[in-house]
Amino acid sequence: MESGKLGKREYMSIAILMIGAKATDSNPALLYSKVQNAAWMVPLLSAVIFFVGLFLLLKTMDLFQGKNLFSVIQQLLGRYIGFFLCLVIFLISSFGISFDSRTYTNIIRSFYFTTTPNLIIYAVLMVLGAYGAKKGIQNIGSVGYLVVFYVVLSLFFALIISTQDSTLQAIFPIWGPGKLEILKQSSLKITLYAEFFLLTMLIPNMTSIKEFRKSTWYAFAFVSFQISIAILIFICMFDTSLKGIGYPFHTSIGFLSLGLYLPNVEILFFVLWILAIFVRFAAFIYLNALMFGHLFKINDHKFLIPALTTIYLLIGSIPENAIEVSLVFKQAITNISGPTFFVISLLLWFVALVKGEFKHAKNRNGM
């Protein structure tokens, strides 16, 4: 365990950058392909659904003061079932970071370094992420806190400028393909918030579970509206063509300029965006190393980071092209991870309830 604790501001910064970055990748286009004009509703409805699982998970974690997710799972479900469930979570997270990092590599090559080989960009991205992870979660949080204000400000600034070429009529018909389809997709897309489930591994790094819980809800509410607003503006800007645009945020900032002296203003947004991505993958790699270390009783999990990063790089290199990454591999992980984490959250709460953990905690507090 590292010395020092992760402050609530630093933790919120990590959470906002990790989940908020999804407004800038292929998620808006994928959501539009499913529910058309109503795509902006999905993040809000998914947040409402995921709120139930996250609320029950945090209530359960509250019973085991200072313990991380894997410790609680093994304590509630036993050594063998607990180990199996933790291994499933680790594998889902590992495949998630592999194909997610490949997606961001595709973005960088498509818009910013078009002549650089994919593998070089991918390797640099993962090496930077591994370097950040090796520095520890406190340092990742400090960097996140330094840049989060400017990253969020630049995102909303870009979105506001983009509204000049937008039409509100594009959101009609407001229910898209129908309410039932919107509800179905919202339940599948709770993966948008899956990282909040994984971030419970950081509870021992916080000063208290109360601080963790409060910071989680602030970040959760913020990113829910951020992603929804971003998608709404993309719909108004691109209308039906959004379905064929892989990365609408980067396409939109390509049209921006601040006069004759700054015609290529997108490079300013790129610098801030890449800092956010650095925090996202550094935290992701750190969490995966922490999970692996807990599974196999390895105390100094930082030594695992280079090996795990290399494995993720190799897995992410398997798909041959960007379309295969987004439509096949990433979609498969998206459809599995969110619902799986949601069910595990409900399971942990139910087992704790049946075993009388809530009653025992109430009795302890009443003494």
pLDDT in tens, 187-212: 999 999 999 999 999 999 998 889 99
DSSP string, 251-279: HHHTT---SSS-TTTHHHHHHHHHHHHHH
pTM of this structure: 0.94
The third-level CATH classification (topology) of the domain covering 8-366 is: Amino acid/polyamine transporter I (1.20.1740)
Quote the CA–CA distance of 273 and 250 in Å, as a whole number: 10
Quote the CA–CA distance of 93 and 101 in Å, as a whole number: 12
Q: What is the pLDDT of residue 1?
A: 39
Q: What is the pLDDT of residue 335?
A: 87
Quote the CA–CA distance of 47 and 215 in Å, as a whole number: 16
The tokens for 353 are 């309830």
Residue 206 φ/ψ, nearest 5 degrees: -90, 160
Q: What is the pLDDT of residue 262?
A: 59
Average pLDDT per consecutive 10 residues, the chain (367 residues; last block may be shorter):
75 97 92 94 97 97 92 95 97 95 93 92 96 95 96 91 82 91 94 96 92 96 96 92 90 74 74 95 97 93 95 91 75 90 97 91 69
pLDDT in tens, 169-182: 889 889 999 999 99
Structure letter (DSSP) for residue 206: B
Q: What is the pLDDT of residue 240?
A: 87
Whether residue 310 contacts residue 101, with contact meaning beta carbons closer than 8 Å, is answered with no
Tell me the domain boundaries of the chain.
8-366
Upstream peptide bond of 306 is cis (omega within 30 degrees of 0)? no
Quote the CA–CA distance of 141 and 6 in Å, as a whole number: 7
Quote the CA–CA distance of 139 and 10 in Å, as a whole number: 9
Quote the CA–CA distance of 255 and 146 in Å, as a whole number: 28
